[in-house]
Amino acid sequence: MKATIVTIGDEILIGQIVDTNSGFIAKSLDKIGVEINEMISISDDKKHILDTFAALQNKVDLVIITGGLGPTKDDVTKKTFCDYFEDELVIDEVVEKHVIELIERVMKRTASQINKDQALVPSKCTVLHNQVGTAPGMWMKKENTVFISLPGVPYEMKYLVENEIIPKVVREYKRPYIIHKTILTYGQGESLVAERIEDWENNLPAFIKLAYLPAPGRVRLRLSARGIDKEKLEAALEENVNSLDAIIHDIIVGFDDDETIEVVVGKMLLKQNKTISTAESCTGGKIASILTSVSGASGYFKGSVVSYATAAKIDVLGVSKNLINEYSVVSKEVVSEMALNVKKMMKTDYAIATTGNAGPSKGDSNVEIGTVFIALATPDRIIVEEFNFGQPREKVIDRAVIKSLELLQKEILKNVR
């Protein structure tokens, strides 16, 4: 079973917004064995939409379309659906009632005509009821292809995918199995990892595909097995993951697809019953923010002091003024003090501290732009590292965040492996 995801909207084509909807839909369909063969972003133009529909007709089983369903004039999807299916728009009374109620309850006003027009749907379509917004989803079949239209607002799209589309596809279609296994490695680059596992890779069976997904400091290896015999696929995947683990055991830190470093670190801290806090200058609270994005973070994360201004480092974090005068705010000495002090203030086992100059201009220190000091206070010692992450600002901050979490992870790993 094959699907194509189509995103409609000029705002994507001029780069004003990034399309995150397609990724969510792909992941959801992939889990139930639907293969995504393409993702396409096109303009809000009727002819362009019609040409795209025609090109996909009978080439794939499912076409999932997001965007172009809002109440305003730049949204043309519904009218184009009518043209393509030779249909006309009619009011769906269930949707109309829902829209009127939702506007009254949430917006505390009467629904306008523009709101009510959201209930207009092609007469032949199966309506996918959107409980979290006003624009309904639509499911229409022509010959061998089903066309599904969804609103572009991410949480409305997600609601309809999870509650309407996935259950309907699972009920109505037979699909092959696709199983993925992701191996997360840290500390070695893509080409070095590739060299180490070359023989293993050459011996993979044909139904298992390997992909390298590099990111700063880490490489994800993804194995994908596709076939009809689920047990055979699972056994082969397990066997190959085990033989891989024997080769690069030293750099493997996790196996779950969703195991980002913040999730891995969180699990380890919980398991070891340890707590953490942060004192952040150049990272501006981003380490705390990423740690707390994980549900259950309150089990190990206590808090953070974002001491952005030099005064905050002195007044709130209690860093000595003399130390700052002697070594500058961006120094090994100051970052150590920040980590030790926040660890004491927040009463935690570990503490991370950052100070640096993310640019583009120089701040309260004379160090080169891109310079970052990271300190990790552990229950019994303090580790400090110096980096230069270059430019731009965004990259410096992101690299400092990742490096901090890596330092922490490496240190906690010592207690388990």
Task: Determine if 397 is a binding residue for a copy of itself (CB under 8 A).
Answer: yes
For a copy of itself, which stretch binds (CB under 8 A), given 58-66, 72-80, 229-237, 263-271? Answer: 72-80
Task: Determine if 387 is a binding residue for a copy of itself (CB under 8 A).
Answer: no
Task: Determine if 328 is a binding residue for a copy of itself (CB under 8 A).
Answer: no
User: Considering beta carbons, is residue 124 or 158 the nearer one to a copy of itself?
Assistant: 158
Answer for which of 245, 360, 366, 368 binds a copy of itself (CB under 8 A) is 360
Burial 250-261 (b: 16+ CB within 10 A, else e): ebbbbeeeebbb
Task: Determine if 17 is a binding residue for a copy of itself (CB under 8 A).
Answer: yes
* Residue matched to tokens 């362009």: 48
For a copy of itself, which stretch binds (CB under 8 A), given 88-96, 121-129, 219-227, 243-251? Answer: 219-227
What distance in Å separates the CA atoms of residue 53 and residue 62, rounded to the nearest whole number?
Answer: 11
Answer for which of 231, 361, 380, 417 binds a copy of itself (CB under 8 A) is 361
For a copy of itself, which stretch binds (CB under 8 A), given 119-127, 234-242, 248-256, 298-306? Answer: 298-306
In sequence order, what E strands does 67-144 have?
89-91, 120-122, 126-128, 137-142
Answer for which of 175, 303, 382, 383 binds a copy of itself (CB under 8 A) is 303
Smallest gap, in angstroms, from Cβ of residue 292 to a copy of itself?
A: 3
Q: What is the DSSP secondary structure assignment for residue 369, as one 8-state letter?
A: T
For a copy of itself, which stretch binds (CB under 8 A), given 232-240, 304-312, 319-327, 371-379? Answer: 304-312
What distance in Å separates the CA atoms of residue 394 and residue 359, rounded to the nearest whole number?
Answer: 9
- Closest Cα partner for 394 from 258, 235, 284? 284
Up-side HSE of residue 16: CA atoms within 13 Å toward CB? 4
Task: Determine if 378 is a binding residue for a copy of itself (CB under 8 A).
Answer: no
For a copy of itself, which stretch binds (CB under 8 A), given 57-65, 80-88, 232-240, 303-311? Answer: 303-311
Q: Any idea of the CA torsion for 335, 336, 339, 345, to the nearest 10 degrees?
A: -110
Answer for which of 87, 96, 201, 259 binds a copy of itself (CB under 8 A) is 201
Q: Facing residues of 352 across strands?
A: 278, 376
Smallest gap, in angstroms, from Cβ of residue 124 to a copy of itself?
A: 26
Task: Determine if 333 is a binding residue for a copy of itself (CB under 8 A).
Answer: no
Q: Map residue 83 onto helix, strand or coil.
A: helix
User: Considering beta carbons, is residue 397 or 412 the nearer one to a copy of itself?
Assistant: 397
Phi first, then psi, for residue 139 (nearest 5°) are -125, 120
Smallest gap, in angstroms, from Cβ of residue 86 to a copy of itself?
A: 26
Task: Determine if 39 is a binding residue for a copy of itself (CB under 8 A).
Answer: yes
Task: Determine if 42 is a binding residue for a copy of itself (CB under 8 A).
Answer: yes
Smallest gap, in angstroms, from Cβ of residue 142 to a copy of itself?
A: 22
* Strand-strand pairing, 62-66 and 145-150: parallel
What distance in Å separates the CA atoms of residue 213 and residue 221, rounded to the nearest whole number?
Answer: 6
**Residues in 97-116 at the binding interface with a copy of itself, rule: CB under 8 A:** 107, 112, 114-115
For a copy of itself, which stretch binds (CB under 8 A), given 69-77, 89-97, 168-176, 231-239? Answer: 69-77
What distance in Å separates the CA atoms of residue 220 and residue 263, rounded to the nearest whole number?
Answer: 15
User: Considering beta carbons, is residue 128 or 317 the nearer one to a copy of itself?
Assistant: 317
Smallest gap, in angstroms, from Cβ of residue 147 to a copy of itself?
A: 18
Burial environment of residue 347 by CB neighbours within 10 A (0 to 12, 13 to 18, 19 or more): exposed
* Residue matched to tokens 């089990």: 299
What distance in Å separates the CA atoms of residue 223 and residue 233, rounded to the nearest whole number?
Answer: 11
The token pair that represents 335 in the structure block: 């970052």
Answer for which of 187, 217, 227, 284 binds a copy of itself (CB under 8 A) is 284
What distance in Å separates the CA atoms of residue 348 and residue 367, rounded to the nearest whole number?
Answer: 30
Task: Determine if 22 is a binding residue for a copy of itself (CB under 8 A).
Answer: yes
Task: Determine if 175 is a binding residue for a copy of itself (CB under 8 A).
Answer: no
- Orientation of helix 393-413 relative to helix 261-272, angle to 10°: 30
Answer for which of 136, 254, 356, 359 binds a copy of itself (CB under 8 A) is 359
Q: Are 82 and 142 in contact (CB under 8 A)?
A: no
